[in-house]
Amino acid sequence: MQLQLGLIGYPVQHSLSPWIHNQFLEKAGTSGTYSLFEINPDSFEEEIKTLKTRELNGFNVTVPFKQQIIPYLDELDRKAEMTGAVNTVVKRGGRWIGYNTDGAGYVFGLTETYPTVSKHTVDSILIIGAGGAARGIYQALADEGFAHIDIANRTRSSAEAIAASGPDSVRTTVLDLTKAEENVADYDLIIQTTAVGMKPNTHDQIMSLERLRADSIVSDIIYQPITTRFLQEAQEKGASIQQGHTMLLYQAQYAFQLWTSENVPIDDMENQLKEKLE
């Protein structure tokens, strides 16, 4: 059987997903294709209806359609429902089922890089940003049993909405960015989820890490550049860093597992991906 996979988004031409999934197909010994479907947002509904008629086994969804795809699905997985965004669709028995692998992908990447990270070793977490990515990561960390996850965001109400969606087992305080800067030494793990600092605006930085503790871990989910200014400052403070390409890789690994039931190893792909991004 020839597996037919792909990606919908706008734009998608520079996506690294074809490279990643073609490697997975090869590693799994599965023949298949991973196609790019660039959909103009103005003709989204029409294009999705056409896509429904294709023999696709599954596809990824990227910006700006992660929310827009939801009304066209037959079923929504719990994590996708809680996140309010879908990045992976699986066709099963002719039905489209929506998943979100971003948050779990972040956590897989983190624990692969830092195997000692667990709910027992990390007491307090700060998430910066309150968009779709932040929501997915918050849910995934809550699912892993992390009990103290604060959120700092420019717009307070978005952070409050995420905090309100969390289980009772998680304690969350919402902060503004200035307060987060002042209190940064309170956190064992700090996760930057906004687009601030992304190419071409690589000099931008969401907040200062002046007061960071050297024994903290700092993540940025941006992967272009591979080391953001935020991560550079974390390194200067002697902290450990987690770059954004790992989330990209592990969310894809989880999506591939949903499509094929194969858990393909990442092996050397992380270094190869880093080289592509550098």
Would you count residue 192 as binding ligand ATR (CB under 6 A)?
A: no
Q: How far is the CB of 90 from ligand ATR (least distance, A)?
A: 21
Closest CB to ligand ATR among residues 117, 180: 180
Contact by Cβ (8 Å): 66, 86: yes
79 given a catalytic annotation: no
Q: Is 205 exposed, middle or buried (0-12, 13-18, 19+ CB in 10 A)?
A: middle
C-alpha distances in Å from residue 87, one per residue of 71, 100, 117, 204, 259 = 14, 5, 26, 27, 13
Would you count residue 269 as binding ligand ATR (CB under 6 A)?
A: no
Would you count residue 129 as binding ligand ATR (CB under 6 A)?
A: yes
Q: What totals of helices (H) and strands (E) does the chain contain, helices first? A: 10, 12
Closest by CA position to 125, among listed 192, 182, 178: 192
Query: Of these, 88, 192, 193, 228, which contacts ligand ATR (CB under 6 A)?
Result: 193
Q: How far is the CB of 182 from ligand ATR (least distance, A)?
A: 17
Would you count residue 196 as binding ligand ATR (CB under 6 A)?
A: yes
Using CA atoms, how far apart are residues 237 and 275, in angstroms rounded to an integer? Answer: 25
Using CA atoms, how far apart are residues 150 and 251, in angstroms rounded to an integer? Answer: 23
Query: Of these, 16, 73, 147, 195, which contacts ligand ATR (CB under 6 A)?
Result: 195
Q: Is the peptide bond before 200 cis (omega within 30 degrees of 0)?
A: yes
Q: How far is the CB of 135 from ligand ATR (least distance, A)?
A: 8
Contact by Cβ (8 Å): 191, 131: no
- Of residues 155-174, which lie at the interface with ligand ATR (CB under 6 A)? 155, 158
Task: Determine the interface stretch with ligand ATR among 40-48, 124-132, 181-189, 232-240 (rule: CB under 6 A).
Answer: 124-132
Task: Determine the interface stretch with ligand ATR among 7-15, 112-120, 151-159, 255-263 (rule: CB under 6 A).
Answer: 151-159
Catalytic annotation, pick one of 66, 79, 91, 119: 66
Using CA atoms, how far apart are residues 174 and 162, in angstroms rounded to an integer? Answer: 10
Using CA atoms, how far apart are residues 219 and 189, in angstroms rounded to an integer? Answer: 8
Would you count residue 105 as binding ligand ATR (CB under 6 A)?
A: no
Using CA atoms, how far apart are residues 169 and 98, in angstroms rounded to an integer? Answer: 26
- Of residues 227-266, which lie at the interface with ligand ATR (CB under 6 A)? none
Closest by CA position to 252, among listed 92, 61, 83, 85: 61
Would you count residue 132 as binding ligand ATR (CB under 6 A)?
A: yes
Query: Of these, 172, 194, 242, 253, which contacts ligand ATR (CB under 6 A)?
Result: 194
Closest CB to ligand ATR among residues 60, 260: 60
Closest CB to ligand ATR among residues 4, 208: 208
Closest CB to ligand ATR among residues 16, 195: 195
Number of other CB atoms surrounding residue 236 within 10 Å:
10
Q: How far is the CB of 125 from ligand ATR (least distance, A)?
A: 16
Active site residues: 66
- List interacting residues with ligand ATR (CB under 6 A): 129-134, 153-155, 158, 193-196, 206
